Amino acid sequence: MEANTISKDPWMDPIIWSRLPRQLLDRVIALLPPPAFFRSRCVCKRWYGLLFTNPFVELYLQLTHRKRHWFLFFKLKSPKNSFIYKNGGISTSSSNTTTNIREGYLFDPYELAWYKLSFPLVPSGFSPTASSGGLICWISEEAGPKSLFLSNPIVSSLTQLPQTLRSRLGPSIGLSVTPTSIDVTVAGDDMISPYSVKNLTYESFHIDGRWLFSLWEINGSLPRLCNFESGRMVHLHGRQYSMSYSPFSVLAYDLFANMWWNIEAPMKKYLRFPSLVDSSGKLLLVAAVNRNKLKVPKSLRIWGLQSCGTSWFEMERMPEQLYDQSATLENGTGFHCVGHGEFIIIMILGSGTALQFDMESKLWQWVPPCPYVQYGGGGDGDLHGFAYEPTLATPVTVLLDPFQSFGVIN
């Protein structure tokens, strides 16, 4: 009875669906979000093989896609008892230690859903350090000239960049990937001896579809007394931004003018755990504020960089009751922030919990725990995230093939 009922429904008539033109069907499949696309590959051999056919990939690239402002998280451990000399003093290394990462966790802020991604091709001893254009940049953890890989976890691709020129420990990394170009900036943590580093120089790599390229070049000196501690940069409109510590300020670098400058941070004497994030093309600074160093900070605030590029204005403040809850969970361990589109994710270190803020709806809400991570505390690592827009194709990496063919890649 049910079979007869279904067959009479014109919307479910298999005769109609079996006669859909392949071009129309491929167009529908190309517009699916990545999780739905990969589920559809189980339907038949043809759908499974679409990802490896040039006509489908070209169709996918031609279509106008809705931006997916998602996030990709990794469970990273901070090094213990790793002290180095920096700028004349002793400090701890800011780079995360991962040793052997084999999976990441994709978070959809619209549906509050988690997905697991694997990285079987990434060698051991590499850490995720930046993300742009659907690619994740991995950097070697060993001190010395740095090796970098660009990976697309959706299609399990891995492309190596030429090795950097200067020996470094845990430099800050800026990455910008467009459909036709790749720009990478590596700054600071110059190895001046086997036991000492300083933030002295920066180098950059560029390649684009016009076959304009420059292998790694040491472009010059960093601003005096700059102190990169975050290990990463935020790229916006041809500029890379990074936090500088002791005292707090924001370092800006113009890729085209090859120029660095300092931007004074708001309330720099009272900030705790400041982070720079990108929100819909605007640079934001997220930090807890402590007006009296003898008291627990009572607010977490969000500032935006004004169009003049030199001053900030306060945009949002976490509700006091919510902040009290998060401060209790944090218990002085700090937090890590990442922004993408209208969303800001605040990962509370040491707790395995996170808050999400929607800049458009002004909604604060708790993020559901990642079901793929067993969080035991005790220093076993925290989730650190990157802004990530999943994509099925990253053809710009083809531009790197000639360097690998001619043995430029080490």
DSSP per-residue codes, 52-116: G-HHHHHHHHHSPPPP--EEEEEEEB--SS-EEEETTEEEE--S-B-S---EEEEEETTTTEEEE
- Look at residues 265, 241, 283, 273 and name the one whose alpha carbon lies nearest to residue 337: 273
User: Residue 10 — pLDDT band, cuts 50, 70, 90?
Assistant: low
Burial class from Cβ neighbours inside 10 Å (0-12, 13-18, 19+) for residue 361 reads exposed
Q: Report the predicted TM-score, pTM, of the whole model to 2 decimal places.
A: 0.83
At 150, is the secondary structure helix, strand, or coil? strand
Confidence (pLDDT) at 65: 61
**DSSP secondary structure letter of residue 400:** G
Residue 404 has pLDDT above 70, yes or no: no
Residues 353-374: tens digit of each pLDDT: 999 999 999 999 999 999 988 7
- Look at residues 110, 118, 170 and name the one whose alpha carbon lies nearest to residue 144: 170
Confidence (pLDDT) at 8: 57
Q: How far is CA 85 from CA 6, 45, 144, in A?
A: 73, 58, 16
Q: Report how far residue 247's alpha carbon sits from residue 360's, in angstroms, rounded to the nearest whole number.
A: 32
Q: Report how far residue 386's alpha carbon sits from residue 340's, in angstroms, rounded to the nearest whole number.
A: 8
The yes/no answer on whether domain 70-405 falls in CATH 1.25.10.10 is: no
Mean pLDDT of 123-139: 92
User: Residue 315 — pLDDT band, cuts 50, 70, 90?
Assistant: very high
Nearby residues of 258 by Cβ (< 8 Å), 6 or more positions away: 219, 220
At 395, is the secondary structure helix, strand, or coil? helix
Mean pLDDT of 292-314: 83
Domain residue ranges in the chain = 2-62, 70-405
Residue 100 has pLDDT above 70, yes or no: no
Mean pLDDT of 385-393: 86
Query: Which of 144-158, 282-296, 347-361 has the weakest average pLDDT?
Result: 282-296
Residue 132 has pLDDT above 90, yes or no: yes
Residues 325-344: tens digit of each pLDDT: 998 888 888 888 999 999 99
Confidence (pLDDT) at 95: 47
User: Residue 91 — pLDDT band, cuts 50, 70, 90?
Assistant: very low
Q: Report how far residue 188's alpha carbon sits from residue 206's, in angstroms, rounded to the nearest whole number.
A: 18
Q: Give 34 or 174, the one with higher predicted confidence.
A: 174
